[in-house]
Amino acid sequence: MPSEPSDTNQYLKHGQPEGHELLLVGGAYTASRALSDLILRAGGIQVNLCARLNDAVDVAIRICPTIILLDLRESGIDGLGILDTFQRSPEVGAVPIILLTTLETSVIRDEAFTRGIADFIVYPLSATELIARIRIHSTGYLNVLKRNRSATAYESLQSELRTVHRALEESRSQSEHHIQKTDDVQWQKRVSGLVNIGIELNQIQDFHSLMDRILSEARYLLHSQAGTIFLREGDTLRFAYFHNDALAERTSTGEPPPIESFRIPITDRSLAGWVCLTGQSLYIPDCYNISLELPYRFDSSFDLLLGYRTQSMIAMPLKNQSGRILGVIQVINAVSTDGRTIMGYSNEDIRLLEHFASVATVAIERAHMIEKGVERLIRMTQIRDVDESYAHSQRVEGYASVIFEEWALRRGLVGAAFDRQRDRLMYAAKLHDIGKMGVSDSILKSPKMLSESERRDIEKHTHTGGAFFAREPTDFDEAAREVALYHHERWDGDGYPGFEEGGVHRGRRDEEIPLFARIVGLADVFDALSSNRCYRDAWKEEQVLQHIQSEKGKHFDPELVDIFFAKYDAICRVRHANQEPS
């Protein structure tokens, strides 16, 4: 039996699932495989092996197990610390854990149950008993998931926010366009629920995900059919984010049609421009009936283009504590609980959106600082490698997000768990080639075919990139480390950097390669082949797609290739939105 790889986040899948997804953590490599085979023979249980305790939570987040078997026959009580890490994880903290050990004492048993295990088994054990306990706890967890499928972790965090919304809806039912003010004390109590949404927003690392969430929450809060966000860039406002439920219903994808970004000057002639210029909120009951005495006008060209009718609107500045305006958020067309457009918003709506905008602006400013820091790193890489442009990193990030969203959807990964993992992936995808800063210019900028020694030198960028994120990594840095290190590994094992196994060097293969690295590897190759390089011209689209298909099960994860083609329209939209500057 080959020795276990010493430096890999290895987990292997076997068997045919019937709903039970077991993660077997720890234990000697040979013993774990033997235990895995024993469980597989019972049938109906998918088995995943994770040899290293330190990798267990990360692997669990990816595979979404319904039961965890923690094998402490090797590590003993010293391995109990992993239980605390599981408990702290919002994604997998509720998954039942069975502890397997060779030694049972009251101290170990009490310590284990104190840290939240579901069951305790002493080795040697009856195979029948082990399988029965696995199925009992896994079935219980699956039943909980079914009951709570709609009550995701994200919805729990929004409970107080939804209470505010329900209160507004109850009042609105009395008069569809006017809400009477409720008791001040009760109002303040409900508004305080926005603290929860503030906490949630500040946990989002990716700027685009954050803006999308902010727009979703603002629309939910005021029960609005549509919404937009303009971001301030110098003396202009950029139309950056757009939601519209009415338009989305007309499409086969359930998404509104893609709208190209545009900019408007910050003047008092437009609604968003006036709000940004004055720093004041604006409420328009009827955008097609604005007094001629006012300086601003509603631009109806957008409505004409989309076949839509904008009625009521609140436009509000996104202003930080120092008074600087970062952008403008607009909520459009208030609707009733049955989806009918109603006359407009109330004073209470405006007040509530003001509170929300204050909370959202704090998160925007923090995320904007992170985004700028990442952008500087990418620009630094571009100085060394002309092919590693900011637009390239944006496209790879966008492709990876599209692929992961479908991958997660197929597994029922939703809510806060999905959002957090997507944010980690998008952060890592942007910085996948950061290690190229350590490669010489003569190699990176060479228009000629590389020699074997030059190729080995450029392959070192994976180790350089991995090391960049390795020191005291955050959860996001760990994702970036994996992607930087492993995104050139291949599904068939012919990639790099690989590892030593039994004195022989080999590449990682199949699911030994972390999921994020497999996704970014596919996204990176697609964009590289589709783009001009210093040593060749871009391939034609047909050639690129034929290559991707031909490398299914060779270079690329077969499932990810299927997802790539299933979501190719969305992939193309990402490419179109992130063209190289002329």
- Regarding whether 398 and 355 lie in a shared domain, the answer is no
Band (pLDDT 50/70/90 cuts) for residue 387 is low
Residues 182 and 135 in one domain: no
Residue 378 lies in a domain: no
Reduce the DSSP state of residue 353 to 3 states and report it: helix
Question: pLDDT at position 14, please?
Answer: 39
Residue 265 has pLDDT above 80, yes or no: yes
- Considering the domain architecture, whether residues 411 and 506 belong to the same structural domain is answered as yes
pLDDT of residue 386: 57
CATH number, domain of 397, equals: 1.10.3210.10
pLDDT category, 186, cuts 50, 70, 90?
Answer: very low
Domain annotation covers residue 287: yes
Which of these, 223, 244, 224, lies nearest to 165 by C-alpha position? Answer: 223
- Domain contains 374: no
CA distances from 487 to 135, 478, 521 (A): 36, 14, 5
Q: Provide the pLDDT confidence category of residue 138 given band limits of 50, 70 and 90.
A: confident
Query: Rounded CA gap, 316 and 327, in Å?
Result: 9
pLDDT higher than threshold 90 for residue 358:
no
Is the pLDDT assigned to residue 63 strictly greater than 60? yes
In a shared domain, residues 268 and 354? yes
Q: Tell me which residue range forms the domain holding 310.
A: 172-367
- Same domain, yes or no: 359 and 398: no
**What per-residue confidence (pLDDT) applies to 157?**
34
Q: What is the pTM of this model?
A: 0.56
User: What are the residues facing 317 on neighbouring strands?
Assistant: 328
CB contact set of 325 (below 8 Å; sequence gap of 6+): 232, 276, 279, 317, 318, 319
Residue 9, pLDDT > 60, answer no
In this prediction, residue 193 carries a pLDDT of: 55
pLDDT of residue 33 exceeding 80: no
Residues 443 and 571 in one domain: yes
Would the pLDDT of 301 be above 70? yes
pLDDT at 7: 35
Supply the pLDDT for residue 31.
64
Residue 152 within a domain: no
Window from 76-90, 378-392, 539-553 with minimum mean pLDDT: 378-392
Q: Do 352 and 412 lie in a common domain?
A: no
Average pLDDT over residues 507-524: 94
Burial string for 108-132 (b: 16+ CB within 10 Å, else e) reads: bbeebeebebbbbbebeeeeeebbe
CATH code: domain of residue 65? 3.40.50.2300
| Mean pLDDT score, 7-13 | 37
Structure-model confidence comparison of residues 492 and 203, the more confident one:
492
Give the pLDDT confidence of 67-78 residue by residue, as tens digits: 998 887 766 556
User: pLDDT band at 163, cuts 50/70/90?
Assistant: very low
Task: Tell me the CA distances in angstroms from 44 to 129, 143, 380, one per residue in order.
Answer: 16, 17, 51
Residue 376 lies in a domain: no
Q: How far is CA 247 from CA 40, 208, 271, 303, in A?
A: 49, 21, 22, 11
- Percent of the chain surpassing pLDDT 90: 30
- Please say which residue of 367, 401, 427 terminates a domain: 367
**First-to-last C-alpha distance (Å) of the chain:** 56
- pLDDT of 342 > 90? The answer is no
* pLDDT surpasses 70 at 184: no
- Residue 377 located in a structural domain: no
- Residue 7 belongs to some domain of the structure: no
- Chain segment 522-542, per-residue pLDDT in tens: 999 999 999 887 778 899 999
Do residues 276 and 344 both lie within one domain? yes
CA 173 – CA 13 distance, rounded (Å): 54
For residue 162, tell me if it sits in a domain: no
**What does the mean pLDDT of the chain come to?**
79
Lowest-confidence pick of 126-130, 394-398, 463-467 = 126-130
Residue 94 has pLDDT above 60, yes or no: yes
Whether 521 shows a pLDDT value over 90: the answer reads yes
397 and 358 fall within a common domain = no
pLDDT tier at 288, thresholds 50, 70, 90: very high
Q: Are residues 423 and 351 in the same domain?
A: no
Same domain, 360 and 390: no
For the segment 511-524, the average pLDDT, to the nearest whole number, is: 95
What is the number of domains present in the chain?
3
Q: Which of 333, 367, 401 is the last residue of a domain?
A: 367
* Residue 374 pLDDT > 80: no
Show which of 308, 334, 367 is a domain's final residue. 367
Asked if residue 351 and residue 299 are part of one domain, the reply reads yes
